[in-house]
Amino acid sequence: MKDPFKGMMGIKILKDEPLSKHTSFHIGGDAKFFIRVCSIKALKKVLQIAMKNKMRYFVIGSGTNLLVSDKGFPDVVIKLNGIFTKIKRERDLFCCGGGVLIDRLLMKAGRLAYGGAEFLAGIPGTVGGGIKGNAGAFGRSFAEIVDKITIINHRIMEQDLYNNDIGFAYRSSKLKNGTIIISAKIRFTRGRQKDIMAIIKRNLKYRRQRQPAGYSAGSFFKNPLPYSAGKLIEECGLKGLRVGDAEVSMKHANFIINRGKARTSDVIKLAKRIQKIVRNKKGILLKQEVKTLS
């Protein structure tokens, strides 16, 4: 297939790009087209061309909650750069592009003495991905602090959605597949810089102490409230369980670690084995939190 994006302004194209280079799992095959997009105009054009050529598209953030097929993705993977990584403050609202890293937003707000979102410290990924999946920690989530978002919908039109329109739920929202968050307004509260930065530092330390090092996609299963997925897996004696080079972490049982040469098929087999054992022993079916791309 010829490159239908050739000659376009505001983008950078990589063909047959290994997605293992763009995910925290360090697993996955190639993307036919990996496109870095720097403006809204360019993004809309890319989407129009993709749809015209009957190609699927997927927007990748930091690749921190993602498992890519060993066969890769035969269509278009989009990375939001340029305007989508800008941050500006409007009183208590921080306006940021969907491609802004969560930690970068927190640190910028903290240095300006704005807090209220310190619970997000150490959560990897971008603001867009975090909102779509309603990421959170310590019993709190994005649902509490998002004022408004702007999306590109399935008709390739810009649309504003306020908090109540997003349909936030536990680790999810009602935003459909194909919806792209291009910007968001996050509400912070004025405080003392010293206190805010101290809380961020404390939360980062807590996460480092509890979470394993190595290649992973973070918490693999959703917590079946009021239970903890990690505790259920640990109680079933599954720490250290391994398929190929994919292993249940000895430090935190809800993490599957790529020991270096794991394949997606290894991770999937291991995840299914965990689900089967936990269901048989605990009567609870664990649901996958990590998104898959194939």
Instruction: List alpha helices for the chain, DSSP H.
Output: 40-52, 102-111, 127-132, 163-166, 193-210, 229-235, 264-282
Tens digit of each residue's pLDDT (9 = 90 or more) over 44-62: 999 999 999 999 999 999 9
Mean pLDDT for 238-255 is 98
Mean pLDDT for 181-209 is 96
Tens digit of each residue's pLDDT (9 = 90 or more) over 168-177: 999 999 998 8
Spot the catalytic one: 219, 247, 249, 263: 219
pLDDT band (50, 70, 90) for residue 1: low
The answer to whether 24 is a known catalytic residue is no
Top CATH class of 86-210 equals alpha beta
Provide the β-strand partners of residue 101. 126
> Taking the model in full, what pTM does it have?
0.93
Measured CA angle at 291 (ends 289, 294), to 5 deg: 150
pLDDT at 120: 97
pLDDT at 176: 87
CATH architecture of 11-83: 2-Layer Sandwich (3.30)
260: left (phi over 0), alpha (psi -120 to 50) or beta: left
Separation CA 48–CA 249 (nearest Å): 43
The answer to whether 219 is a known catalytic residue is yes
Residues of the chain with CATH 3.30.43.10: 11-83
Instruction: List alpha helices for 61-114, DSSP H.
Output: 102-111
Strands 136-137 and 140-141, by their bridges, are: antiparallel
Residues of the chain with CATH 3.30.465.10: 86-210
Separation CA 251–CA 238 (nearest Å): 12
Tens digit of each residue's pLDDT (9 = 90 or more) over 95-147: 999 999 999 999 999 999 999 999 999 999 999 999 999 999 999 999 999 99
Does the domain spanning 229-293 belong to CATH 3.20.20.70? no
Are the CB atoms for 200 and 121 separated by under 8 Å? yes
Separation CA 65–CA 46 (nearest Å): 24
Tens digit of each residue's pLDDT (9 = 90 or more) over 256-267: 999 999 999 999
Spot the catalytic one: 171, 207, 242, 273: 171
The answer to whether 17 is a known catalytic residue is no
Residues of the chain with CATH 3.90.78.10: 229-293
